[in-house]
Structure 1
Amino acid sequence: MNAATRREQILQLLSQSSGPLSATAIASRFSVSRQIIVGDIALLRAAGADITATPRGYLLERPEAQNHLEINIVCEHADDRLAEELYTVVDLGGALIDVTVEHSIYGQICAPLHIYSRFDADAFLSKLERENARPLCNLTGGIHLHRLRCPNAEVQARVLQALKDKGFLLER
């Protein structure tokens, strides 16, 4: 199979996937190295494919996501409340698309999350623990931004109110 055909099939695979696909899993399917897939993904992005890298693999942004509402919020919490923050959003029907912190040296640092469910939240939390990693908000004393996606205004209002009630929203 030539590279162009492989890239077409990678796009098809991502479009049919119900969740993220790792470069390793894609590489295995096409009997090539992970590095080849990383290069293919870069070329697909350069050609305009809306592919996002998440901690669990690659996602192709679907058109239905464009019908959702997105909002940026500022949050603050300690490490021991991270799970509660994530669960609050997903349990009420929202999704955490990314997290951004303002670093004094590097400026904005943004990382994709793509957390749509408790399963995704648990996978993220497990990876933090397994890798002995710290959340990005540790760089800024717990202050961070999230881009949230909600299917409608009612869900968005419920998520924002719950985050406010639990003291996560920073409103100074």
Structure 2
Amino acid sequence: MIKVDERKRSGEERRRILLQWLKESEEPLTGQILAEKLNVSRQVIVQDISLLKAKNEPIIATAQGYVYLREKESAHSFKRIIACNHTPAQTEAELNLIVDHGVFIRDVIIEHPIYGEMTASLVIKNRRDVKQFIQKMEDSKASYLSDLTEGTHLHTLEADTIEQLDEVCLAFKKAGFLLEKENESEVNP
């Protein structure tokens, strides 16, 4: 990425450049990195991302940074939402258990008593992503969404085969992370 002089460009052009960088990147890009490259504040990036999302650009914010969702990231044949419960200390083990079965973690969902359903994009594909997510949680001293629901949460999982999803559920059951099977739903696009 080339550093761009803010004074020589309009907000529209800045968003065009931002969108291009997101589309070209194979890795998530943090708001801070984008702000530095565009010589603007992180808040300007947050606003630009919001404007791009309002134009239906498939950009999501993850713990690793902003990601432009390409078709290949949604190309898994099978999806399943699983209900889980565990302590914050077990989060890393939970996420590693999923990715070790070759399963993609799309998001985490909780049912908040005031706000209703709250979803956070995770976009975790492998142990490296898990490690980055856990490190960012520790560095920021942030709480997990599941802290709001005493450990109960959902994950949207995606895989190439139904067997992978079944194996994750079996491993979750053995680990004591899986809630009752009635809470699962499955989608075959």
TM-score by length of 1: 0.90
1:10 aligns with 2:18: yes
Q: Distance in 2 between matches of 1:138 and 1:33?
A: 31
1:73 aligns with 2:82: yes
- Give 1:106 deviation, angstroms: 2.3
Question: 1:159 — aligned with what?
Answer: 168
| Residue aligned with 1:49, SS | coil
| Partner amino acid, structure 2, of 1:81 | Q
Q: Distance in 2 between matches of 1:99 and 1:77?
A: 13
- Give 1:160 deviation, angstroms: 2.4
Question: 1:149 — aligned with what?
Answer: 158
Question: 1:93 — aligned with what?
Answer: 102
Unaligned runs of 5+ residues in structure 2 are 1-8, 182-189
Q: Distance in 1 between matches of 2:164 and 2:23?
A: 26
- Give 1:25 deviation, angstroms: 0.8
- Give 1:71 deviation, angstroms: 1.6
RMSD: 1.8
Which of the numbers 122, 127, 144 marks the counterpart of 1:135? 144
1:53 aligns with 2:53: no
Question: 2:47 — aligned with what?
Answer: 39
| Residue aligned with 2:132, SS | helix
Post-superposition Cα deviations, 1:103-133, rounded to whole Å, max 9, x if no partner, equal 2222222222222211111122122222333
Which of the numbers 31, 56, 69 marks the counterpart of 1:23? 31
Q: Distance in 2 between matches of 1:140 and 1:42?
A: 28
- Give 1:170 deviation, angstroms: 0.5
Distance of aligned partners of 1:100 and 1:30 in 2 relative to their CA distance in 1, 3 Å threshold: same
Q: Distance in 1 between matches of 2:15 and 2:99?
A: 33
- Give 1:86 deviation, angstroms: 0.5
- Identical positions, percent: 40
Unaligned runs of 5+ residues in structure 1 are none
Distance of aligned partners of 1:29 and 1:95 in 2 relative to their CA distance in 1, 3 Å threshold: same
| Residue aligned with 2:28, SS | coil
Q: Distance in 1 between matches of 2:74 and 2:91?
A: 27
| Partner amino acid, structure 1, of 2:85 | E
- Give 1:26 deviation, angstroms: 1.0
Question: 1:102 — aligned with what?
Answer: 111
Question: 2:71 — aligned with what?
Answer: 63
| Partner amino acid, structure 2, of 1:151 | D
**Worse overlay, 131-140 or 75-84:** 131-140
Q: Distance in 1 between matches of 2:20 and 2:103?
A: 27
| Partner amino acid, structure 2, of 1:134 | S
**How many residue pairs were aligned?**
172
Structure 1: 4+ residue segments shifted above 4 A: none
